[in-house]
Amino acid sequence: MRALIIGSSVAARQIGESLIEKVDELVFLDFDSYKFHSWGLFKGDNASFQSGDLEKMNTLLDAGLEELDILIVDAGDDALSLFVAQKCKISLSTAIFIVLDDMSVADIYESSGFIILDSHNLGLDKIIKYLEKF
């Protein structure tokens, strides 16, 4: 199973910590990889860190977008996260989780097939339950 986490927020790190032992490959992507170097948690062979412009399709494709099973987006602000998530919806088999600060638009995006996580009450159980299906 391959997972991509877009963003380097505290929530992205927490999600990464919960996934690292459960996936075959975990890729982190953000504008720069500076924050990732200070984490120190992901020294395993199944984690990698990439940087680039999150709004560019080439960056997303280089991070392995076409081969993912699960995608988590927490790109820094809700508008950017929603934009990136929509851009990433190229495969119907990829589960896309979006971490939001403002839950007022959650219903709209859930009805479009995205799985919404509240950054203030990070429901990691949604991700774990999804992974258990495999």
Number of domains in the chain: 1
Query: How far does Cα 85 stand from its chain's mean position?
Result: 9
Please give the residue range of the domain that contains residue 102. 2-132
User: What CATH number does residue 104 fall under?
Assistant: 3.40.50.720
Q: Give the predicted TM-score (pTM) of the model.
A: 0.91
* pLDDT averages per 10-residue partition of the chain, 134 residues: 92 89 92 76 77 94 93 94 93 89 94 93 85 78
**Residues 6+ away with beta carbon under 8 Å from 60:** 29, 54, 84, 87, 88
Three-state secondary-structure class, residue 10: helix
What does the alpha-carbon distance between residue 102 and residue 54 come to, in Å, rounded to a whole number? Answer: 21
pLDDT at position 41, please? 59
